[in-house]
Amino acid sequence: MKNLAHWIGGKPVEGASGRFGPVYDPATGAQEKQVPLASTDEVDAAVASAKAAFEDWGTASLARRTSVLFKYRELLDAHRDELAALITAEHGKVHSDALGEVARGMEIVELACSVPQLLKGELSTQVSTRVDVAAIRQPLGVVAGITPFNFPAMVPMWMFPLAVACGNTFVLKPSEKDPSASLLLAELASEAGLPDGVLNVVQGDKVAVDRLLEHPDVTAVSFVGSTPIAKYIQLKGIEHGKRVQALGGAKNHMLVLPDADLDFAADQAVSAAYGSAGERCMAVSVVVAVGDTGDELVAKIAERARGLRIGPGDDPGSEMGPLITREHRDKVASYVTGAAAQGAEVVVDGTGLTVPGHEDGFFLGVSLLDKVPVTADAYRDEIFGPVLCVVRAATYDEGIALINASRWGNGTAIFTRDGGAARRFQLEVQAGMVGVNVPIPVPVGYHSFGGWKDSLFGDHHVYGNDGIAFYTQGKVVTTRWPDPADSGGVNLGFPSNS
């Protein structure tokens, strides 16, 4: 069995805590690796490495930083298949989906390459006689990222490339369920010329998380994960004086109006609900069928869902892979088995699926639940699996009221041919990311990603302009260089602009 490691000070470091976590191949159910779970001393070592590296990197020129990032982008491109293979082996998603994850993460590396433009300050000259005012942004110091299992390459790349581009040093705590991608990301960064200690990877569990939140030398923490943990991260981080951005869970709705192209809407609903086995915070988990669209739309979704090819992620014929763990697979299945008793109609039941040759894998078929009451667990909870709920609404107003009543506000979408309805929706819906005939409206890298309500804790979204603002602190400098001809003199009056 392969033993994984931490990455501290520019090299792999074996775990010393004596605690390990299992890393499974979700397609077979077999434990292939074990990952060390860091002690507080190991976290402290990573933070100390980052703090020491900041002395030089924090004052490094923008030219030096960007040269490393451009080289890093080249190496990521050359190793994208290798990264995708690691993701498939430990997460289970199909190879094409894993490649897409790497590509979307690389968008943020490309954004980070433009940091000289992003960090341009402001200057006002002659605000008073021979007085100028400049606004500049400077790095924070040591910052940390805590990332989830569902995007083991993309979400870390949402964080550390921008952070280091701004002059910070970084400690990453990836998910212990699929940690290998983060190690390759760090290794490639070192190969690109990132100085030792600028990027560190500490494997671990709650012990590592809590130490990062408490450590006096960590200035800011970024997090993506479930809502309960996001709340915990925010409260504990603020308690210890840290800047926090914490992205939580979601229950994303897709509103389908009677004028929509129902074949197109069905295609998009299936893709958005079941891609990556539904293990993504931007998955469509609820379709709101308005008016008389429900029966026809459900029939079209069911037809497509039943035809999906489910199998191991490294099989080119697979369209959907297994879930991350056996325990998570069983929890997701419980929402389907209990749905009928709570008033839903089970149209497609994926709980009995077995994949020949992979009977011990963590596979679950796709499920479709219709006429789901808003009181049902399948509607109220974030399932994070291949289960799509359909609810019925008589009118647009009823549908949007239902969406806005949700405690989450991550992403949402409307499907319609009516431009007026779409415009009204994008202004009225209470969510941070909105799609018009786009089911998963994840912003491109130069716009920011983040939700509303219980989907975001903190003031900043990730990447884009918000990412730059989060990883820097502003400073305003007022200067005056008196003319040699001035006589000067003492003046005790309040300074005025003249």
Q: In this structure, are residues 382 and 251 in contact, taking their beta carbons and an 8 Å threshold? A: yes
Contacts of 148 (CB under 8 A, 6+ apart): 155, 175, 224, 225
Structure tokens at 465: 């302009």
Contacts of 283 (CB under 8 A, 6+ apart): 250, 252, 272, 273, 275, 276, 384, 440
Please compute Rg for the chain using Cα positions.
25
Extract the tokens encoding 151: 């995007």
Q: What is d(CA 155, CA 467) in angstroms, rounded to the nearest whole number?
A: 13
* Active-site annotation holder among 113, 166, 281, 389: 281
Q: Which residues of 260-272 are buried (b: 16+ CB within 10 A; e: fewer)?
A: bebeebbebbbeb
Closest CA to 348 of 312, 391, 382, 298: 298
| CB distance 176 to 17 below 8 Å | no
Distance (Å, rounded) from C-alpha 297 to C-alpha 285? 15
DSSP 8-state symbol, 412: E
281 catalytic? Reply is yes
| Rounded Cα distance, 66 and 83, in Å | 23
Handedness of CA 490, 492, 497, 498 (dihedral sign): negative
**Is residue 95 helix, strand or coil?**
helix
Enclosing H/E stretch for 409: strand 408-409
Residues recognised as catalytic = 281
